Amino acid sequence: MGGRVFLVFLAFCVWLTLPGAETQDSRGCARWCPQDSSCVNATACRCNPGFSSFSEIITTPMETCDDINECATLSKVSCGKFSDCWNTEGSYDCVCSPGYEPVSGAKTFKNESENTCQDVDECQQNPRLCKSYGTCVNTLGSYTCQCLPGFKFIPEDPKVCTDVNECTSGQNPCHSSTHCLNNVGSYQCRCRPGWQPIPGSPNGPNNTVCEDVDECSSGQHQCDSSTVCFNTVGSYSCRCRPGWKPRHGIPNNQKDTVCEDMTFSTWTPPPGVHSQTLSRFFDKVQDLGRDYKPGLANNTIQSILQALDELLEVPGDLETLPRLQQHCVASHLLDGLEDVLRGLSKNLSNGLLNFSYPAGTELSLEVQKQVDRSVTLRQNQAVMQLDWNQAQKSGDPGPSVVGLVSIPGMGKLLAEAPLVLEPEKQMLLHETHQGLLQDGSPILLSDVISAFLSNNDTQNLSSPVTFTFSHRSVIPRQKVLCVFWEHGQNGCGHWATTGCSTIGTRDTSTICRCTHLSSFAVLMAHYDVQEEDPVLTVITYMGLSVSLLCLLLAALTFLLCKAIQNTSTSLHLQLSLCLFLAHLLFLVAIDQTGHKVLCTIIAGTLHYLYLATLTWMLLEALYLFLTARNLTVVNYSSINRFMKKLMFPVGYGVPAVTVAISAASRPHLYGTPSRCWLQPEKGFIWGFLGPVCAIFSVNLVLFLVTLWILKNRLSSLNSEVSTLRNTRMLAFKATAQLFILGCTWCLGILQVGPAARVMAYLFTIINSLQGVFIFLVYCLLSQQVREQYGKWSKGIRKLKTESEMHTLSSSAKADTSKPSTVN
């Protein structure tokens, strides 16, 4: 196998050095005349009638004969009214426009004098064109279907009419007190359940107006004696009397609600824990429960918090318990306190309450009727903000309650409590913070707070709750985490981060946002900082700076050098511009992580620019493949037309669609704590790596296929100089496409395992010098470009010489004009 490859390579090298030969027939007529042309003599060809070339006489096989579009020149072709011009190969035809037909019966004609087109009456030809509930109306060149009143066309077939549902389409004038009933071609307005027509108003016609039936005052309700009837619009509800609560399993605010006298919530010591201090606390709680009355809710709340404050100020024998039991006691206290305060607060009057105690325990509580606004509870060390609509349980007519308890003494029982991170966050943190949580347990940085609502279903809030913690200063090499206490099935628990995120942190304050309620705190975890490799940083900035200069020179060359402008240089220009903008934005803005929105925009823009760069690389490879495939048929014009239609929609459209999908699905994953780039969380980075792998794979396949085509070309080698030169250039560009514009990106994906550092250096060096490679391959190694550079250089030297001569001449004239003086 190796011998065959070597022989092919040797033959390829020999073929590249063969001289060209004459490409003309010994009989005196050129054999290389392009398609749609005729031979003039041994050295010239002329395009057939209906075709044109760049010059009237063709003297080189590189020129082609293109069809003349006679229809594009209206001054030369006039088909007349109601007709269209159709271009054909070498000629044209006039045909009647759709909806018209020729009286003469001829399908085509050549000019306006032969035009006999007239309108076709489709409705007369086929009376059943418009189906049920529709009528046909003839128009010039076509027809339309019109639906009867109360009907409309179906989207699938504009000829079929269907009934308009005035009730759901918003076209009915029914009064808001009525219910709309749709009929075929019409509708009715009827009173809703719990409503009746106002005196003198009929029930059913379009002008019906209804009024609410007051079931409570009229005695039409069926409320239990333990409830109070409340009339609602169109219905009524039965609510528990003050100091009462719904029986277990029966919802409140329903027509069948049954209530019972409200008692104090059961709160007993945790099983298996032996502590005299804790037992005395629960004895006080039980005494308060036995003497509880709904009117004493305010005093009962203060007494419970006073007892809890004293317990945590002097824990006594609780501090001698094992750490695990201390965590279990804290979990039991937090869970029970939340239930007791939620139940007691429902008997409070509307308003804002604030209680504070010597050991630092604080309670902020607000009771209101259902309102549509946000609420903010402030304490010395914590602030909570949420929407009122989160506080009220659906269907509960009682007051809305929002409470916040700050318990600094709970930190004694929660010392060294474990932290359990969700797998994705654990992976993300270890990518940016080496050694996180490896050396000991996290430290409790803030007070422990507990938040509760009258709605006890707070595991998945429709809008997040924001907490602002004040805490002691964060020392260096510490990671601040927003956490909540997750109760375990064994009665204990642990700190967790699911559903909570750190919005921002300063030296002595942290903002957290959570989608559920529980007990919260701010933890501080030690980590080792990942330091950047300074050598890679220097290589990156130096390489990108040089590449930017080369890309700018390459882009100016492709724009200004008229001799090389074609489809290929258009591809080179777009690739250079995209890569220039991407590298420039990378240099100046990749580290702008201070502003979240700005960093997100930068990350999204970099994502788009680098995807656009990769897409233009793919188009480069595709163009080389198509050009190599068409070497044997000399059909360059078809390739150029195909690429001109394809390259801009694909080159800029495909990256835009990819970035739009990524931004719409997970916009918050644009921007990392250290870089304005895509986050690896939830596989989001594959929005970039996926296209990289796909494009590199396609480029590799196109490269191999191109080499195979060139191998077959070698087998039919002749002495055509121009074809030889094209094939040699294609082979060189195909190799450059793979090793310069493709393989550099796969090195970035291979930065794993023991070879990661080596791959990182290779990726940084080669990729940062992409602009240099592009300028070298497509400009400096191009003979046409070098000749143009020479012309520009001579022009500049000539202008410089003329400028110097003009300056010397002006100086001489000035000297001769000065008067001489005699001493």
Residue 61 lies in a domain: no
Q: What is the pLDDT of residue 528?
A: 44
Residue 439 predicted with pLDDT over 60:
no
Retrieve residue 463's tokens: 């809008």
Exposure string of 331-342, with b = 16+ CB inside 10 Å and e = fewer, is bbbbbbbbebbb
C-alpha 89/C-alpha 352 separation (Å) is 87
The CATH number for 375's domain is 2.60.220.50
Residues with Cβ within 8 Å of 813's Cβ and at least 6 positions away in sequence, in order, are: none
| Least confidently predicted of 241-245, 501-505, 631-635, 728-732 | 631-635
Q: What is the pLDDT of residue 121?
A: 87
Q: What is the pLDDT of residue 738?
A: 59
Helices (H), 141-275: 166-169, 215-218
Q: What is the pLDDT of residue 1?
A: 47
C-alpha 674/C-alpha 587 separation (Å) is 14
pLDDT digits (tens, 9 = 90+) for 680-699: 777 888 888 889 888 888 88
The CATH number for 651's domain is 1.20.1070.10
Residue 163 lies in a domain: no
CA dist 227 → 346, 368, 392 (Å) = 16, 21, 20
598 compared with 185, residue with greater pLDDT: 598
C-alpha 235/C-alpha 776 separation (Å) is 82
Q: Do 208 and 321 belong together in one domain? A: no
Q: Do 433 and 315 belong together in one domain? A: yes
Residue 137 predicted with pLDDT over 90:
no
Q: Do 95 and 180 belong together in one domain? A: no
Q: Do 555 and 470 belong together in one domain? A: no
423 compared with 689, residue with greater pLDDT: 689
C-alpha 268/C-alpha 284 separation (Å) is 11
Tracing tokens 């390259």 back to the chain, one arrives at 647
Residue 148 lies in a domain: no
Q: Do 244 and 99 belong together in one domain? A: no
Residue 434 predicted with pLDDT over 60:
no
Residue 440 lies in a domain: yes
Q: Do 95 and 207 belong together in one domain? A: no
- In which band, very low, low, confident or very high, does the pLDDT at 742 lie, cut at 50, 70 and 90? low
Residue 349 lies in a domain: yes
pLDDT digits (tens, 9 = 90+) for 308-345: 999 999 999 999 999 999 999 999 999 999 988 888 88
Q: What is the pLDDT of residue 739?
A: 59
C-alpha 550/C-alpha 521 separation (Å) is 54
Average pLDDT of span 209-227: 85
**Candidate ranges 458-472, 672-686, 784-798; pick with highest mean pLDDT:** 458-472
C-alpha 186/C-alpha 512 separation (Å) is 56
Domain that holds residue 254: 227-261
**Pairing status of strand 493-496 against strand 419-420:** parallel
Q: Do 93 and 207 belong together in one domain? A: no
Residue 159 lies in a domain: no
C-alpha 620/C-alpha 569 separation (Å) is 10
- Judged by DSSP in three states, 685 sits in coil
Q: Do 233 and 330 belong together in one domain? A: no
C-alpha 685/C-alpha 665 separation (Å) is 13
pLDDT digits (tens, 9 = 90+) for 579-601: 999 999 999 998 888 788 899 99
Q: Do 377 and 522 belong together in one domain? A: yes
Q: What is the pLDDT of residue 55?
A: 84
Q: Do 704 and 578 belong together in one domain? A: yes
pLDDT digits (tens, 9 = 90+) for 538-584: 888 898 899 999 999 999 998 888 878 888 888 889 999 999 999 99
pLDDT digits (tens, 9 = 90+) for 86-134: 888 888 889 999 889 898 888 888 888 888 898 888 888 887 888 778 8
362 compared with 431, residue with greater pLDDT: 362
Q: What is the pLDDT of residue 398?
A: 63
Q: What is the pTM of this model?
A: 0.42
DSSP conformation letters of 30-87: -TTPPTTEEEEETTEEEEPTTEE-SSSEE-STT---EE--GGG-TTT----TTEEEEE
Q: What is the pLDDT of residue 354?
A: 92
Q: Diameter of the chain by CA atoms?
A: 136
Q: What is the CA radius of gyration of the chain?
A: 42
Q: Do 507 and 546 belong together in one domain? A: no
Say if residues 45 and 58 touch (Cβ distance below 8 Å).
Answer: yes
Residue 46 lies in a domain: no
Q: Do 196 and 320 belong together in one domain? A: no
* Partners of 146 in beta bridges: 135
Residue 748 predicted with pLDDT over 50:
yes
C-alpha 668/C-alpha 684 separation (Å) is 10
Helices (H), 259-314: 276-290, 297-313
Q: What is the pLDDT of residue 579?
A: 92
Say if residues 100 and 121 touch (Cβ distance below 8 Å).
Answer: no
Domain boundary, last residue among 483, 512, 529? 529
Residue 657 lies in a domain: yes
Residue 382 predicted with pLDDT over 90:
yes
Average pLDDT of span 44-57: 87
Q: How many domains does the chain have?
A: 5
The CATH number for 94's domain is 2.10.25.10
Residue 616 predicted with pLDDT over 70:
yes
**Candidate ranges 238-252, 324-338, 440-454; pick with highest mean pLDDT:** 324-338
| Burial tier of 516 (Cβ tally within 10 Å: 0-12, 13-18, 19+) | middle
- Please, which contacts does 286-289 make with residues 24 or more away whose CB atoms are closer than 8 Å? 288/264, 289/263, 289/264, 289/265
